[in-house]
Structure 1
Amino acid sequence: MTFPLSDVALTTLALAVAGALGLLFGKLQVRKIGLGIGGVLFSGILVGHFAAKAGITFDSDVMHFVRELGLILFVYTIGIQVGPSFFASFAKSGLRFNLAAIGIVLGGVVVTLAIYALTDLPLPVLMGVMSGAVTNTPGLGAAQQALGELGLPASEVGFAGMGYAMAYPFGIIGILISMFAVRFLFGITIEREEEAYKLETKSGEAALPALNLEVTNQNLDGVRLGDVPDLFDHGVVASRMKSGGELIVPTRDTVLHLGDSLHMVGPAEKLAAMKLIMGREIDTPLTTKGTKLTWARIVVTKDKILGKSLRELALVEARGVTVSRINRAGVELPAQASSSLAFGDIVTVVGSKPDIDAVALELGNEHARLQEVQFPALFFGIALGVILGSIPLAVPGLSAPLKLGLAGGPLMAAIVLGRLGHWGPFTWYMPPAANHALREFGIVLFLAVVGIVAGDRFFDTLLHGDGIVWMGYGILITLLPLLIVGVIARVFGRFNYLSLCGVLAGSMTDPPALAFAVSMSKTGAASVAYVSVYPLVMFLRILAPQILILILAGAGAGAF
Structure 2
Amino acid sequence: MDAIRTLLESQLLFSLFLTVALGYVVGEVNIKGFSLGSGAVLFVGLAVGGFAPKSAPPGLLGTLGLLLFLYGVGIQYGAQFFKGLTSANGLKANASALFGVVGAGVLAVALVPMFGIKLDESLGLFAGSGTSTATLQAIIAALHSDGASVGYSVAYPIGVAGPILGLYVLHAVLKPKIVQPAAKVIETAEILVKNAEFIGMKFSALTSRLPPGVAIAAVRRDKHNQIPTEDLVIRADDVLLATGTDPVALKQAAETFGVLQTGRITSDREDLDYLRVFASSKAVVGLALGDIRFPEGVICSIAHVRRADADMLPNPDLILEVGDRVGLLVNRAHIKAVRKLFGDSIKGTAELSFISIGMGAALGLLLGLIPITVPGVGKLTLGLAALLLLALYLGKIRRSGPFIWTMPLSANLVLRNFGLTIFLAQVGIASGPKFFATVGTAGVSFLLYSLAIAFALVLITAVFCLWVFKLPFDMAVGVISGATGNPAILGFGNRIAPTDQPDIGYAMIFPSMTIAKILFVQIAAALMGG
In structure 1, C-alpha distance between the alignment counterparts of 2:219 and 2:125, rounded to whole Å:
61
Give runs of aligned pairs for residues 129-144 of structure 1, distance below 5 A.
140-144=132-136
Residue identity matched to 1:112: A
Residue 152 of structure 2 is aligned to residue 160 of structure 1: yes
Secondary structure class of the residue paired with 1:450: helix
| 1:390 match | 369
Residue 435 of structure 2 is aligned to residue 458 of structure 1: yes
In structure 1, C-alpha distance between the alignment counterparts of 2:506 and 2:192, rounded to whole Å:
42
Secondary structure class of the residue paired with 2:219: strand
Offset of 1:175 from its aligned partner? 0.3
Q: 1:84 to 1:323 in 2, by over 3 A?
A: farther
| 2:525 match | 553
| 2:515 match | 543
Secondary structure class of the residue paired with 2:174: helix
Secondary structure class of the residue paired with 2:378: coil
Contact 1:22 1:42 in 2 (8 A): no
In structure 2, C-alpha distance between the alignment counterparts of 1:393 and 1:22, rounded to whole Å:
37
Deviations 1:29-76 (A, max 9, x none): 224533333333333333443445xxx598xxx945444333323322
| 1:241 match | 219
Secondary structure class of the residue paired with 1:298: strand
Offset of 1:109 from its aligned partner? 1.1
In structure 1, C-alpha distance between the alignment counterparts of 2:42 and 2:302, rounded to whole Å:
48
| 1:173 match | 165
Offset of 1:117 from its aligned partner? 4.3
Secondary structure class of the residue paired with 2:302: strand
In structure 2, C-alpha distance between the alignment counterparts of 1:84 and 1:329, rounded to whole Å:
17
Higher deviation after alignment, 249-258 or 77-86:
77-86
In structure 2, C-alpha distance between the alignment counterparts of 1:211 and 1:528, rounded to whole Å:
30
Residue identity matched to 1:180: A
| 2:36 match | 35
In structure 1, C-alpha distance between the alignment counterparts of 2:214 and 2:315, rounded to whole Å:
7
In structure 2, C-alpha distance between the alignment counterparts of 1:48 and 1:533, rounded to whole Å:
33
| 1:468 match | 448
Q: 1:534 to 1:323 in 2, by over 3 A?
A: farther
| 1:112 match | 104
Deviations 1:400-444 (A, max 9, x none): 244321x11221222222333333453334345544454345434
In structure 2, C-alpha distance between the alignment counterparts of 1:231 and 1:361, rounded to whole Å:
35
Contact 1:85 1:329 in 2 (8 A): no
Deviations 1:365-392 (A, max 9, x none): 1111122232222211111111122223
Secondary structure class of the residue paired with 1:304: coil
| 2:230 match | 252
Residue identity matched to 2:139: L
In structure 2, C-alpha distance between the alignment counterparts of 1:149 and 1:328, rounded to whole Å:
46
Secondary structure class of the residue paired with 1:527: coil
Secondary structure class of the residue paired with 1:381: helix
Q: 1:376 to 1:551 in 2, by over 3 A?
A: same
Q: 1:340 to 1:504 in 2, by over 3 A?
A: closer
Contact 1:23 1:37 in 2 (8 A): no
TM-score, normalization by structure 2: 0.78
Higher deviation after alignment, 426-435 or 210-219:
210-219
In structure 2, C-alpha distance between the alignment counterparts of 1:391 and 1:489, rounded to whole Å:
35
Count matched residues.
508
Q: 1:89 to 1:103 in 2, by over 3 A?
A: closer
| 2:407 match | 430
Q: 1:280 to 1:255 in 2, by over 3 A?
A: closer
Offset of 1:18 from its aligned partner? 4.5
In structure 2, C-alpha distance between the alignment counterparts of 1:129 and 1:47, rounded to whole Å:
23
Contact 1:129 1:166 in 2 (8 A): no
Contact 1:98 1:536 in 2 (8 A): yes
| 2:381 match | 403
Correspondent of 1:298 among 258, 277, 283: 277
Residue identity matched to 2:226: I
Give runs of aligned pairs for residues 75-474 of structure 1, distance below 5 A.
75-83=70-78, 86-87=81-82, 95=87, 98-99=90-91, 101-120=93-112, 140-150=132-142, 152-153=144-145, 156-157=148-149, 159-183=151-175, 190=177, 204=182, 220-226=198-204, 230=208, 237-243=215-221, 247-264=225-242, 279-280=256-257, 284=261, 288-292=265-269, 293-308=272-287, 310-315=289-294, 318-327=297-306, 335-337=314-316, 341-395=320-374, 397=375, 399-405=377-383, 407-432=384-409, 434-462=411-439, 464-466=443-445, 467-474=447-454
Residue 50 of structure 2 is aligned to residue 70 of structure 1: no
Secondary structure class of the residue paired with 2:524: helix
In structure 1, C-alpha distance between the alignment counterparts of 2:317 and 2:458, rounded to whole Å:
45
Correspondent of 1:529 among 470, 478, 501: 501
Contact 2:69 2:417 in 1 (8 A): yes
TM-score, normalization by structure 1: 0.74
In percent, how many aligned pairs have the same letter?
A: 23
Q: 1:513 to 1:457 in 2, by over 3 A?
A: closer
Q: 1:261 to 1:415 in 2, by over 3 A?
A: same
Contact 1:241 1:261 in 2 (8 A): yes
Offset of 1:286 from its aligned partner? 7.2
Q: 1:507 to 1:111 in 2, by over 3 A?
A: closer
In structure 2, C-alpha distance between the alignment counterparts of 1:25 and 1:384, rounded to whole Å:
33
Contact 1:311 1:338 in 2 (8 A): yes
Q: 1:454 to 1:302 in 2, by over 3 A?
A: closer
Contact 1:44 1:451 in 2 (8 A): yes
Offset of 1:480 from its aligned partner? 3.5
Secondary structure class of the residue paired with 1:30: coil
Q: 1:230 to 1:322 in 2, by over 3 A?
A: same
In structure 2, C-alpha distance between the alignment counterparts of 1:36 and 1:422, rounded to whole Å:
34
Deviations 1:443-463 (A, max 9, x none): 344334433443333234435
| 2:11 match | 13
In structure 1, C-alpha distance between the alignment counterparts of 2:187 and 2:134, rounded to whole Å:
41
Deviations 1:72-112 (A, max 9, x none): 23322322333365446679xxx565455434422321321
Q: 1:284 to 1:85 in 2, by over 3 A?
A: farther
In structure 2, C-alpha distance between the alignment counterparts of 1:88 and 1:321, rounded to whole Å:
33
In structure 2, C-alpha distance between the alignment counterparts of 1:235 and 1:438, rounded to whole Å:
34
Unmatched segments (≥5 aa) in structure 2: none
Contact 1:85 1:331 in 2 (8 A): no
In structure 1, C-alpha distance between the alignment counterparts of 2:290 and 2:456, rounded to whole Å:
55
In structure 2, C-alpha distance between the alignment counterparts of 1:262 and 1:130, rounded to whole Å:
63
Offset of 1:178 from its aligned partner? 1.0
Offset of 1:474 from its aligned partner? 1.9
Residue identity matched to 2:104: T
| 2:467 match | 487
Unmatched segments (≥5 aa) in structure 1: 198-202, 519-525
In structure 2, C-alpha distance between the alignment counterparts of 1:473 and 1:252, rounded to whole Å:
62
Deviations 1:248-272 (A, max 9, x none): 332234321245443455799xx89
Contact 1:44 1:455 in 2 (8 A): yes
In structure 1, C-alpha distance between the alignment counterparts of 2:436 and 2:237, rounded to whole Å:
79
Residue identity matched to 1:364: G
